């Protein structure tokens, strides 16, 4: 379209000039020294026009020839990049389909000419790892670092991720510790370092790292909450560890979690700090009644009457709690409140028979000097239940003739 307009414009101009020349051809005289040239104006204009065209074309040809090496180099580079892009796409498709060997070959074939060499080398490293070729994987990552030295940290993080996914936890830890030293607030490094410590079961190191992760605004709570819970559970159950300092790092909500409260309270009980353990257990039991917490509450070296009163308050909220009924039966038996003990144990057995209830019922028979056969039947039923055998016979009722117990 452009060429057509140019041709039409030139044709119109030429027609106009021809018309003017036809009306009046004009006269031009050019002299230089002893040389003179005489011609018409039309011929002079035509010669100037032709000279301009020739000069213009000559300059265009000259500059095009001058630019030709550069243009040729650019064309070759673009051609290589285009070919590299096709190989990259094919290599990624092969990787997605599980053709790791072919993918690795294609990704490396033109990686040096690729517009995205980092993607080529990292994808090739992933393909090598999928074949178990860890040495080749590391070689490709070294090449990626040489190709893009400004992206060294990103490549090192990718190395750590590949090592972690390959189960090379010690190597991943070494890579991540260096990255963490260089950039201690990088969220991806923190999360992967946390996961590595978790897999290595290095609970102390994980405990030191977690405050940084909890305080990081870019790390979602879902990423670390379950790992923190697992870590605390292991630390609270680790022999020889001072639990007081660990307990003091917990927030109010964590201090009412049964597993943590039970572990700390048990440590306090073993160190004869029942009063402190009592306050820990009470706070947690007010939030949630746990069988393990109840067991520890029963072990407290405090007044039994106080324990019975507190348990009876909780029983009003959970009247069918087997372990609470059994604990009340045990405490009442120890206090000589045999009538109350019988009531709690009868209710426990009526809801669900348990080894503890049968054992306590046997003790109750012995306390009342009942025939030894009655206590033996209780012990036998408890033993059968503990061995997951069908209970042959329920214990004889304490309400039979001559067996009534006075309420105390």
Q: Encoding tokens for residue 178?
A: 């260096």
> How far apart are alpha carbons 255 and 240 in whole angstroms?
21
User: Rounded to whole angstroms, how far apart are CA atoms 208 and 318?
Assistant: 40
Tokens encoding 319: 């009247």
Listed in sequence order, the residues at least 6 apart from 394 whose beta carbon sits closer than 8 Å to its beta carbon are 349, 353, 381
Instruction: Give pLDDT, residue 167.
Output: 94
pTM for the whole structure: 0.63
Q: How far is CA 175 from CA 153, 168, 345, 364, in A?
A: 10, 11, 60, 65
In contact, 26 and 41? CB cutoff 8 Å: yes
The pLDDT tens digits for 216-260 are 989 998 999 899 988 988 888 887 777 888 888 888 888 888 888
| pLDDT in 10s for each residue of the chain, 408 residues | 766 776 677 677 767 766 666 666 666 777 877 887 777 766 777 777 788 888 888 888 877 787 777 766 665 656 555 666 677 777 778 878 888 888 888 888 877 777 788 888 888 999 999 999 999 999 999 999 988 889 999 999 999 999 999 999 999 999 999 999 999 999 999 999 999 999 999 999 999 999 999 889 899 989 998 999 889 888 888 877 778 888 888 888 888 888 888 888 988 898 899 999 999 999 999 888 888 999 999 999 999 999 999 999 999 999 999 999 999 999 999 999 998 999 999 999 999 999 999 999 999 988 888 888 888 999 898 888 888 777 665 444 444 433 433 333
Determine the Cα–Cα distance for residues 33 and 200; give it in Å rounded to an integer.
102
């Amino acid at each position: 379209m452009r060429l057509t307009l140019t041709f039409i414009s030139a044709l119109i101009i030429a027609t106009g000039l021809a018309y003017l020349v036809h009306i009046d051809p004009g006269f031009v005289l050019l002299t230089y020294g002893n040389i003179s040239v005489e011609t018409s104006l039309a011929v002079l204009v035509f010669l100037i026009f032709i000279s301009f065209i020739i000069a213009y074309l000559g300059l265009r040809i000259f500059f095009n020839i001058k630019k030709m090496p550069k243009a040729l180099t650019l064309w070759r580079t673009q051609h290589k990049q285009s070919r590299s892009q096709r190989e990259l796409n094919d290599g990624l498709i092969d990787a997605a389909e599980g053709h790791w060997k072919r993918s690795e070959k294609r990704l490396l074939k033109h990686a040096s000419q690729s517009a995205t060499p980092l993607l080529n080398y990292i994808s090739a490293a992933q393909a090598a790892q999928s074949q178990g070729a860890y040495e080749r994987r590391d070689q490709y990552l070294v090449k990626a670092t040489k190709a893009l030295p400004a992206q060294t940290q990103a490549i090192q993080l990718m190395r750590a991720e590949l090592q972690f996914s390959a189960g090379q936890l010690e190597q991943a830890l070494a890579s991540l510790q260096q990255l963490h030293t260089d950039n201690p607030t990088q969220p991806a490094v923190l999360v992967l370092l946390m996961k590595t410590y978790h897999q290595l079961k290095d609970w102390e190191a994980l405990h030191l790292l977690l405050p940084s992760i909890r305080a990081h605004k870019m790390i979602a709570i879902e990423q670390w909450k379950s790992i923190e819970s697992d870590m605390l559970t292991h630390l609270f159950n680790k022999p020889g560890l001072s639990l007081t300092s660990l307990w003091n790092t917990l927030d109010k909500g964590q201090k009412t979690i049964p597993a943590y409260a039970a572990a700390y309270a048990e440590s306090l009980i073993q160190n004869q700090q029942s009063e402190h353990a009592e306050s820990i257990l009470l706070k947690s039991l007010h939030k949630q009644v746990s069988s393990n917490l109840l067991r520890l509450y029963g072990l407290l070296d405090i007044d039994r009457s106080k324990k019975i009163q507190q348990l009876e308050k909780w029983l009003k909220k959970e009247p069918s709690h087997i372990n609470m009924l059994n604990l009340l039966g045990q405490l009442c038996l120890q206090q000589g409140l045999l009538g109350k003990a019988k009531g709690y144990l009868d209710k426990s057995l009526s809801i669900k028979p348990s080894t503890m209830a049968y054992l306590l019922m046997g003790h109750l028979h012995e306390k009342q000097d009942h025939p030894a056969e009655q206590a033996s039947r209780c012990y036998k039923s408890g033993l059968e239940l503990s061995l997951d055998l069908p209970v042959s016979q329920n214990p004889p009722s304490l309400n039979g003739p001559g067996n009534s117990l006075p309420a105390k």
